[in-house]
Amino acid sequence: MNTISININLKKKQYKIYMERGILTSIGKKLRQAYEGRTLVVITDKNVERLYMKELKESFLDNGFKVNVISIEPGEKSKSLDMLKKIYENLCELKIKRKDVIVSLGGGVVGDLSGFAAATYLRGISYVQIPTSLLAQVDSSIGGKVAVDLPWGKNLVGNFYHPDAVFIDPEVLKTLSDRFFSDGMAEVIKYGFIKDKTILEDLNSYKSKEEALNNIENIIYKCCSIKKKLVEEDEKDLGNRMLLNFGHTLGHAVERYYNYSKYSHGEAVSIGMAYITGRTEELSITKEGTYSYMVNILKKYGLPVYIQGVDKNVLVDTIALDKKSSDKNEINLIMIEEAGKSKIRNTKLSEAANFLFPENLIK
Ligand code: GLY
């Protein structure tokens, strides 16, 4: 199969997303020309290391690279300042120099953490992304957002720092558990609602996870193409790129509320998307029927659409800390007008709760 590529053209940097089934075993060859003679440090987690490190390492060694591996515990709790410090220590002990390269092999946690390490170690070294979860392949590996979490909230310390390339191997998704397939599907469904309802039509037409996986290149391509446009137009997330935050304001607060242990990112975003859309449909901002269309698709892909027994006031306090709220005590909320069409609404923080929790649609 041929490699599909998408160019990301930014003001100060261009890079490519390459997608091909089985590309994992030829990344060494693809990096050879650009990085000849440099040392590669692969940052991964213990699950992904067990599954894919051997073949990736062989591909690097076969192409003359020196390779080091830093492997972290899987899960959001690793996206911390403590873990970042350990990575810096490892990079120093390995005598990694400015010309060397970090290779991020894993899902969103590994990508955000290793991207932030690359952005800051020695004031910035090159890195490439090899996303291995659906969520990372369609969203977090592209666009340069790198970060770690603080006890006060997600991604509170970070930067925009783009990789030199992104390599997507859809074949690796076969080992994703059902739960983490659903996790990524939440972001795919997000793209459908904010920009492209054909994604939703595709998802509705698939009869099984297998059928969705057989067509996953098409889905990933559509999502990455939307992200490309939004990132090129608004690299620093001050305008239309914010549409990608649909469902994330409440979603991040839900993740934090349960200390990142009960709901995955995608599950929390699913709840966030359903809640705000339920409410905006009640307020006639959203076309009637959109909420039930959304809930059906989220449920079809195994995602939760409501939570019980949470203290709304705690969620609202967490939202006030969200970096998407400005110093004017306002927040940009993303709302769906109809499937495939979305808008940004600047809202006073004191009024945000009115848009986030449906009164009648969810009982
Ligand atoms: N994940 C949202 C963004 O990259 O802007």
- Residue in 133, 135, 145, 246 to alter for ligand 1 test, most ligand atoms within 8 A of Cβ: 145
264 — pLDDT class (breaks 50, 70, 90)? very high
Query: Which residue has the least CA distance to atom 2 on ligand 1?
Result: 244
Distance of CA 52 to the CA centre of its chain: 20
146 — pLDDT class (breaks 50, 70, 90)? very high
Dist. CA 213–CA 207, nearest whole Å: 11
Would the pLDDT of 261 be above 60? Answer: yes
For CATH 1.20.1090.10, the residue range(s) in the chain are 178-356
Is CATH 1.20.1090.10 the right assignment for the domain spanning 178-356? yes
326 — pLDDT class (breaks 50, 70, 90)? low
324 — pLDDT class (breaks 50, 70, 90)? low
For CATH 3.40.50.1970, the residue range(s) in the chain are 4-175
Q: What are the tokens at 292?
A: 């039930």
Angle formed at CA 338 by CA 337 and CA 343, multiple of 5 degrees: 30
363 — pLDDT class (breaks 50, 70, 90)? low
Residue 248 CB–ligand 1 contact under 6 Å: no
Using H for helix, E for strand and C for coil, what is the string for 222-249?
HHHHHHHHHHHHCCCCCCHHHHHHCCHH
The pLDDT tens digits for 266-291 are: 999 999 999 999 999 999 999 999 99
Class for the domain spanning 4-175: alpha beta
Claim: this prediction has a pTM higher than 0.75: yes
* The dihedral sign for the CA sequence 251, 255, 256, 262: positive
Q: What pLDDT is stored for residue 68 in this prediction?
A: 98
321 — pLDDT class (breaks 50, 70, 90)? confident
- 37 C-alpha to ligand 1 centroid (Å): 33
Q: What are the tokens at 295?
A: 């809930």
Dist. CA 18–CA 7, nearest whole Å: 9
